[in-house]
Amino acid sequence: MTVKTINRPGSLDTGPPFRPNRAQEEPTSRSARPIPLPTVPPHGGDVYAAARSLGTPVADLLDFSANINPLGYPPCLRQAVFDSFDLIRHYPDPDCRELRQAIADYHGLSASEVLVGNGSTELIYLLARAWRPDRALVVAPAFSEYERALETAGLAVDFFVTSESDGFLLKDPPELGADDLIFLANPGNPGGGLLGPERLRPILETWDRDGAKVVLDEAFVDFREEASMKALVGRLPGLVVLRSFTKFFGMPGLRLGYLLAEAGLIRTLARDSQPWSVNVLAQVAGRVCLDDPDYIARTRAAVDRERKALAGALAGIDGIEVFPGAANYLLAKLTRTGWTAAELRRRMLRQGILIRDASNFRGLGETFFRVAVRSAEENRRLIESLSRCLSQG
Ligand X SMILES: Cc1ncc(COP(=O)(O)O)c(C=O)c1O
Q: Which one of 54-62, 82-90, 244-252, 370-378 is the stretch in contact with ligand X (CB under 6 A)?
A: 244-252
Q: d(Cα 120, Cα 182) in Å, to the nearest integer?
A: 16
3-class secondary-structure state, position 31: coil
**Nearer of residues 190 and 238 to ligand X, judged by Cβ:** 190
Binding positions for ligand X, 191-220, rule CB under 6 A: 217, 219
Binding positions for ligand X, 116-175, rule CB under 6 A: 119-121, 143
Neighbouring C-beta atoms of residue 177, cutoff 10 Å: 12
Name the helix (H) or strand (E) containing 132: none
Binding positions for ligand X, 52-91, rule CB under 6 A: none
Integer distance in angstroms from the first to the last C-alpha of the chain?
34
Q: Measuring CA to CA, which residue among 187, 159, 174 is closest to residue 325?
A: 187
Please give the residue whose beta carbon sits closest to ligand X in the complex: 119
Question: Strand 356-357 vs strand 368-372: parallel, antiparallel, or unpaired?
Answer: antiparallel
Q: d(Cα 249, Cα 172) in Å, to the nearest integer?
A: 33
Neighbouring C-beta atoms of residue 134, cutoff 10 Å: 12
Q: Determine, following the binding rule CB under 6 A, whether residue 189 of this chain makes contact with ligand X.
A: yes
Q: d(Cα 274, Cα 167) in Å, to the nearest integer?
A: 38
Q: Determine, following the binding rule CB under 6 A, whether residue 250 of this chain makes contact with ligand X.
A: no
Q: Determine, following the binding rule CB under 6 A, whether residue 246 of this chain makes contact with ligand X.
A: yes
The count of chain residues that interact with ligand X, using the rule CB under 6 A, is: 12
**Nearer of residues 189 and 367 to ligand X, judged by Cβ:** 189
Shortest CB 118 distance to ligand X, Å: 8
**Nearer of residues 139 and 212 to ligand X, judged by Cβ:** 139
**Nearer of residues 168 and 339 to ligand X, judged by Cβ:** 168
Q: Determine, following the binding rule CB under 6 A, whether residue 360 of this chain makes contact with ligand X.
A: no
Number of helices (H), then strands (E), in the chain: 11, 14
Shortest CB 230 distance to ligand X, Å: 16
**Nearer of residues 109 and 242 to ligand X, judged by Cβ:** 242
Q: d(Cα 153, Cα 171) in Å, to the nearest integer?
A: 29
Shortest CB 221 distance to ligand X, Å: 10
Between the CA of residue 131 and those of 125, 149, 180, 258, 323, what are the distances in Å? Answer: 10, 12, 10, 17, 34
Q: Determine, following the binding rule CB under 6 A, whether residue 15 of this chain makes contact with ligand X.
A: no
Shortest CB 337 distance to ligand X, Å: 31
**Nearer of residues 230 and 313 to ligand X, judged by Cβ:** 230
Q: Which of 244, 273, 379, 385 binds ligand X (CB under 6 A)?
A: 244
Q: d(Cα 250, Cα 245) in Å, to the nearest integer?
A: 7
Shortest CB 87 distance to ligand X, Å: 22
Q: Determine, following the binding rule CB under 6 A, whether residue 222 of this chain makes contact with ligand X.
A: no
Q: Measuring CA to CA, which residue among 81, 43, 100, 22 is closest to residue 273?
A: 100
How many whole angstroms from its chain centre is CA 326? 14
Contacting residues toward ligand X, per CB under 6 A: 119-121, 143, 185, 189, 217, 219, 244, 246, 252, 257
